[in-house]
Amino acid sequence: MSYWRNEIKPLLDAETGTIFKQAPIRVTLAFPNRYSVGMASLGYQVIYRMFNQEEGVACERAFLPEDPEAFARAGQTIPTVESGRPAGDCQLFAMSVSFELDLTNIIRTLDLSGMHPLREERDENDPIVMIGGPFTSSNPYPLTPFADLIIIGDGEQIVPVVSEALRESVTREDFFDLIDGMPGVFIPSRHVHEPKWATAPKELLPAYSQIVTPHSELSNMFLVEAQRGCPRPCTFCLARTMYGPNRNNGGDELLERIPDWATKVGLVGAALSDFPHTKYVGRQLTERGIKLGVSSIRADTVDEELATILKAGGLRTFTVASDAPSERLRRWLKKGITTEDLLKTAQISRDLGFSGLKVYMMIGLGPENDDDITELISFTKDLAKVNRIALGISPFVPKRHTPHFADPFAGVKTIEGRLKRIQKELRTTAELRNVSAKWAWVESVIARGGPEVGMAAYAIYKDESIGAWKKALDEIGWNDEFETNATSIELPPGRYVSRHEETLAV
Ligand code: SF4
């Protein structure tokens, strides 16, 4: 209890919107990462509210401690935020997972909540472990050794179904009988393949924050979802497939969800500048003196009107995605953005007094060569003549449910070589931030791996490092010297064809 009193209670006291409820069915909603990361997840907050709206169900949150190793050494157990009870003391232990690299954190969270991480080692006396979130929709298979139930698709559709089954069932098998066969319900002890995705009807949207706190990564920001899904065809992106059909919410619908006390509002959506009401909502909010937060904006849709609204909403830097280092590779990704669009955005950002432009970039794309990197270096220098540039570079990680599923990961050596050249040539031109090529390789394995990758994570979660991952993956046959030229999941015939060798229209 002293951990709860010293570390968690101060966080709880700083929250607005916490739900305190007692009911016969206890659900723990865990996030396998720190409090500040979990509280910035809109999906996590929505599921928290929805479980608490269910009759007979009370949901409390739990997070991984800042230093899980020290916490484990001290022999402590994760408490829930609301009451400080042991997180594992519940009927349903639900987890929301956003990122592949949180795979080991899922195992740590189960372990530190007093449960055996492996599904087959748990029994009727343990809570049912349910895992959902973007990671499970992208690739649920590495989670099958740990989860009793995996949710594929929109969680909003699933909460009422699962709550009803909890109310109606006596045993764990009764529970599974009641939900078996429903869209989005994947029961690893019964099913081999993932089910049809659950898609939330429009009436359950928009998603919006339940709790606002200064201790979130998005400090004090109230989030509201402008749109789910994306109508654009970018081939690398999961937004179109993973978030289901594109569903826009009305401008006034969003405004109605924003409480009077909100001082900062974050609009959430895959391609916000395509959302028809961004300017209307932005103008209404800034006129009320509310600060705005938006994720990246498509460079081909930026105009002075939009930039003026964002500036009035307190944005200091503009963020856009190039996603590929050259014009021909942007075409290959069907991104629909040109270097001219990026230059125009840089000019608008300078003219309106933004302090800089942040550009997201991926390297290691299938047909990429040195000429593409030369083009990246050249247009970044041009952008930097206009405004201050920050370049966020990530290695390309091919994902399931995209046309790149069967493409190889470029390899650590290739990516590190290209990063080195970019750093050398742009060191004095732009602020550079890059994701480690080695961790991107681990991500690429998890993104397309099966249960054996989950078991490799289980073997190393107490002592995780790149070396430990390499050794564990070597032992299960992913011995490809930091390249992933294969996937361990069987490819549905005729559906996924590698685009790696596809001829480029240049
Ligand atoms: S990259 Fe952006 S515009 Fe393209 S599909 Fe994804 S969210 Fe939509």
Which of 237, 246, 267, 275, when mutated, tests ligand 1's pocket best, judged by the most ligand atoms within 8 Å of its CB? 237
Average pLDDT value for the chain: 91
Query: Is pLDDT at 241 greater than 80 in this prediction?
Result: no
* 236 alpha carbon – ligand 1 mean position (Å): 9
Q: Which of the residue ranges 63-77, 292-306, 470-484 has the most confident prediction, judged by mean pLDDT?
A: 63-77
Name all domains of the chain by residue range, CATH numbers in brackets: 2-186 (3.40.50.280), 221-295 (3.30.750.210)
Give the pLDDT score at 487. Answer: 60
- Per-residue confidence at 486, pLDDT binned at 50, 70, 90? low
End-to-end alpha-carbon separation of the chain, Å? 63
* 229 alpha carbon – ligand 1 mean position (Å): 9
What are the Cα distances from residue 467, in Å, to 56, 488, 499? 47, 21, 31
What number of other Cβ atoms are within 10 A of residue 114's Cβ?
Answer: 14
3-class SS of residue 86 = strand
- Per-residue confidence at 1, pLDDT binned at 50, 70, 90? low
Nearest alpha-carbon partner for 39 in 219, 262, 260, 205: 219
> Any idea what the Cα angle at residue 35 is, between residues 132 and 156, rounded to 5°?
30
- Per-residue confidence at 420, pLDDT binned at 50, 70, 90? very high
- Per-residue confidence at 490, pLDDT binned at 50, 70, 90? low
Query: Is pLDDT at 283 greater than 90 in this prediction?
Result: yes
Please list the alpha-helical segments (H only) found in 54-191: 68-73, 103-112, 134-138, 155-168, 172-179
- Per-residue confidence at 240, pLDDT binned at 50, 70, 90? confident
* 301 alpha carbon – ligand 1 mean position (Å): 13
Which of 232, 274, 394, when mutated, tests ligand 1's pocket best, judged by the most ligand atoms within 8 Å of its CB? 232
What are 358's two structure tokens? 């942040």
Query: Is pLDDT at 506 greater than 50 in this prediction?
Result: no
How far apart (Å, rounded) are the C-alpha atoms in residues 145 and 459? 12
Percent of the chain scoring above 70 in pLDDT: 94
Q: Span 450-465, mean pLDDT? A: 95
Give the pLDDT score at 503. Answer: 40
What are the Cα distances from residue 311, in Å, to 67, 176, 317, 417? 38, 51, 9, 38
Give the pLDDT score at 496. Answer: 38
* 230 alpha carbon – ligand 1 mean position (Å): 6
Q: Span 435-454, mean pLDDT? A: 92
Q: Span 382-411, mean pLDDT? A: 92
Query: Is pLDDT at 482 greater than 90 in this prediction?
Result: no
Query: Is pLDDT at 151 greater than 60 in this prediction?
Result: yes
Percent of the chain scoring above 90 in pLDDT: 77
**Residue 363 and residue 419 in contact, taking contact as beta carbons nearer than 8 Å:** yes
* 234 alpha carbon – ligand 1 mean position (Å): 6
Lining ligand 1 with CB less than 6 A are 230, 232, 234, 237, 239-240, 270-271, 298
Atom 2, ligand 1: residue with shortest CA distance: 271
How far apart (Å, rounded) are the C-alpha atoms in residues 106 and 101? 10
Query: Is pLDDT at 495 greater than 50 in this prediction?
Result: no
pLDDT tens by residue, 178-237: 999 999 999 999 998 888 889 888 888 899 999 999 999 999 999 999 888 888 889 999
Q: Span 240-258, mean pLDDT? A: 82
* 268 alpha carbon – ligand 1 mean position (Å): 13
